[in-house]
């Protein structure tokens, strides 16, 4: 009876070890699965959602064709960010932003945005057209060149273009919407 009890105890110890090893393997697999899901979920985070989480805070950014800009994030929409830099209000396409410092670590998913925040950059330009206020418009002209157009008034905005009137020039100028980097007006 003693030898059988020892064998049973050894077998139970072996089964306990096997069970613990299996639990450890399951835990390791779950940890790896959570990491994979986290990486996959983070791949869905957009620059705009990080900017939305930074609303009201100061950031430093580099904008293609414009250069460095330090500003406070005022609002964010689909494909653009509204910034306050001193006395100026900037609306910049997020696609023209090449570098940002000072973003919040978190993000606000676009599903949680208000209906107004889901408006695109064309809506910003249409509002500018309604106000008819002279603005500075930054337009990408070539691969690494930008054109600053001062005293430009947005006249109309089409599906994929914007038309504006430049002070001192006859007629209007039409620019592809994707070529507009941003627009600045007095706040």
Per-residue confidence at 165, pLDDT binned at 50, 70, 90? Answer: very high
Query: Tell me: the pLDDT tens digits for 31-57?
Result: 666 565 555 667 888 999 999 999 999
Output the CA torsion sign for 186, 138, 132, 75: negative
Q: pTM for the complete prediction?
A: 0.76
Backbone angles phi, psi at 132, to 5 degrees: 50, 40
CA 12 to chain CA centroid, Å, is 57
Fold of the domain built from segment(s) 47-186: SH3 type barrels. (2.30.30)
- Give the residue, 15 or 178, on which the prediction is more confident: 178
Closest of 146, 162, 151, 157 to residue 185, by C-alpha: 151
Query: Tell me: the pLDDT tens digits for 54-93?
Result: 999 999 999 988 889 999 999 999 999 999 999 999 999 9
The ranges assigned to domains in the chain are: 1-44, 47-186
Query: Tell me: the pLDDT tens digits for 95-151?
Result: 999 999 999 999 998 888 888 888 999 999 999 999 998 999 888 877 656 677 778
Other CB atoms within 10 A of residue 1 CB: 5
């Amino acid at each position: 009876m003693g030898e059988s009890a020892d064998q049973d105890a050894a077998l139970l110890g072996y089964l306990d070890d096997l069970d613990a090893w299996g639990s450890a393997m399951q835990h390791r697999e779950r940890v790896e699965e959570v990491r994979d899901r986290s990486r996959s979920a983070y791949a869905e985070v957009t620059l705009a959602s990080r900017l939305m989480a930074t609303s009201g805070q100061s950031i430093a950014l580099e904008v293609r064709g414009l250069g460095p800009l330090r500003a406070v994030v005022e609002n964010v929409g689909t494909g653009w960010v509204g910034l306050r830099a001193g006395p100026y209000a900037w609306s910049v396409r997020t696609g023209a932003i090449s570098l940002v410092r000072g973003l919040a670590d978190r993000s606000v998913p676009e599903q949680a945005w208000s209906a107004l925040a889901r408006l695109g950059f064309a809506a910003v330009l249409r509002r500018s057209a309604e106000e008819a206020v002279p603005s500075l418009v930054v337009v990408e002209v070539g691969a690494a060149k930008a054109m600053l157009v001062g005293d430009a008034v947005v006249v109309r905005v089409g599906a994929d273009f914007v038309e504006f009137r430049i002070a001192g020039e006859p007629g209007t100028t039409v620019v592809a919407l994707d070529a507009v980097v941003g627009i600045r007006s007095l706040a």
